[in-house]
């Protein structure tokens, strides 16, 4: 296998066959390039505007996605490919190299907030992270109709492992998105708010694409089940959209019909730390709770005799996420409870 180093305008994402690239985007500091690994499979039934893209490492310290997609790069056989499949295990090499959520060593920008007007095309938004967003917009979006953005909690939050998506107005697209999310097999589906500016999934949804994200692990580690769910979900999406030959069976919670659909679309679902301290969970993610029930405690060790502050559920539902690191900042979301939907 020969991996070519090319500028985006030299990519061939349309000719039949498999090609492996390092996509070179100019480095802002050294005399060199950031290199984004990209593998494309194009089968005999590929059409101009349809295909699947799977992204890993939108954030640089979330590793289940990169690992799952790297396995798929080796496991998918070109003989089984019918349409276009684009696999990008590390979308943000600037953050991945630093092992941080943002592109810490470069422009300090969070890629999943960088899909804003003018990204990569105006002087104020010309750093590497915004130029990655511009690359996705110009070269990837026109060739795909399925977008899978594989995230994990990193060192921010510990999640009940889930596939996730935003509610969209188009009922047909909404159903396709939910079905695609269910095929990951995860214990939960997370339906979340869509008001944060600059999200990659939000832009894909606005363009009418079948868009699913995930939270496959936490703690900047690699979760065994998270990798398995990631691989299964991407493969299922490719098969069900006619891009990959084969059959696939449901797994785990999808197979059992026990996936919980959890909604966190308003502020009542979030519990905010009123002071900087250290968080102690007393219930696990995935636990059913009632509004007002204590899920964890926030300790202030500068005031050692002060009783811990109870972090309580804001709504009836299921504990969806809690802060991963014990030290937390004032204003940080330490607890998220999702309302359970039918």
Could you read off the pLDDT of 163-186 as tens digits, one per residue? 999 999 999 999 999 999 999 999
pTM: predicted TM-score of the whole model, two decimal places:
0.96
Residue 1 is predicted with a pLDDT of 67
| Same structural domain, 131 and 165 | yes
Residue 164, domain CATH: 3.40.630.10
Which of 201, 229, 264 is at the close of a domain? 264
Residue 193 is predicted with a pLDDT of 85
Angle subtended at Cα 58 by Cα 56 and Cα 61, rounded to the nearest 5 degrees? 85
Which of 248, 264, 280 is at the close of a domain? 264
Q: pLDDT at residue 101 above 90?
A: yes
Q: What is the DSSP track for 204-257?
A: HHHTT-EEEEEE---TTS--HHHHHHHHHHHHHHHHHTTSB-S-----HHHHHT
Q: Which domain holds residue 307?
A: 268-341
Mean of per-residue pLDDT scores for the chain: 96
Domains in the chain: how many in total? 2
| Same structural domain, 38 and 23 | yes
Question: How far is the CA of 215 from the CAs of 22, 43, 233, in angstroms?
Answer: 26, 30, 12
Per-residue pLDDT of 13-65, as tens digits, reads 999 999 999 999 998 888 899 999 999 999 999 999 999 999 999 999 999 99
Residue 291, domain CATH: 2.40.50.100
Average pLDDT over residues 190-213: 95
Per-residue pLDDT of 205-225, as tens digits, reads 999 999 999 999 999 899 999
Question: How far is the CA of 41 from the CAs of 7, 49, 72, 211, 322, in angstroms?
Answer: 19, 14, 11, 20, 38
Per-residue pLDDT of 219-267, as tens digits, reads 989 999 999 999 999 999 999 999 999 999 999 999 999 999 999 989 9
């Amino acid at each position: 296998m020969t991996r070519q180093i090319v500028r985006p305008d030299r990519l061939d994402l349309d000719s039949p066959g498999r090609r492996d690239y390092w996509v070179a985007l100019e480095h802002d500091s050294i005399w060199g390039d950031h290199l984004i690994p990209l593998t494309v499979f194009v089968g005999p039934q590929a059409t101009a505007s349809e295909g699947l893209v799977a992204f890993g490492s939108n954030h640089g310290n979330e590793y289940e996605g990169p690992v799952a997609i790297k396995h798929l790069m080796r496991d998918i056989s070109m003989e089984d490919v019918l349409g276009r499949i684009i696999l990008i295990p590390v979308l943000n090499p600037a953050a991945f190299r630093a092992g941080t959520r943002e592109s810490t060593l470069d422009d300090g920008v969070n890629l999943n907030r960088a899909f804003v007007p003018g990204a990569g095309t105006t002087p104020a938004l010309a750093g590497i992270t915004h130029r990655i967003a511009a690359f996705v917009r110009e070269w990837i979006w026109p060739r795909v109709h399925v977008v899978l953005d594989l995230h994990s909690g990193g060192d921010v939050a510990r999640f009940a492992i889930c596939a996730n998506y935003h509610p969209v107005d188009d009922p047909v697209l909404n159903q396709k998105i939910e079905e695609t999310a269910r095929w990951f097999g995860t214990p939960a589906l997370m339906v979340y708010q869509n008001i944060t500016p600059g999200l990659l999934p939000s832009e894909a949804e606005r363009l009418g694409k079948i868009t699913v994200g995930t939270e496959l692990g936490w703690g900047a580690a690699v979760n065994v089940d998270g990798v398995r769910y990631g691989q299964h979900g991407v493969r299922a999406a490719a098969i069900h959209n006619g891009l990959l030959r084969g059959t696939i069976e449901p797994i785990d919670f999808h197979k059992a019909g026990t996936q919980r659909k959890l909604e966190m679309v308003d502020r009542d679902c979030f519990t905010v730390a009123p002071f900087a301290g250290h968080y102690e969970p007393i219930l696990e993610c995935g636990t059913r709770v009632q509004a007002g029930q204590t899920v964890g405690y926030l300790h202030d060790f500068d005031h050692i005799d002060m009783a811990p502050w109870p972090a309580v559920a804001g709504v009836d539902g299921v504990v969806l996420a809690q802060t991963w690191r014990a030290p937390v900042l004032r204003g940080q979301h330490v607890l998220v409870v999702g309302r359970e939907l039918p």
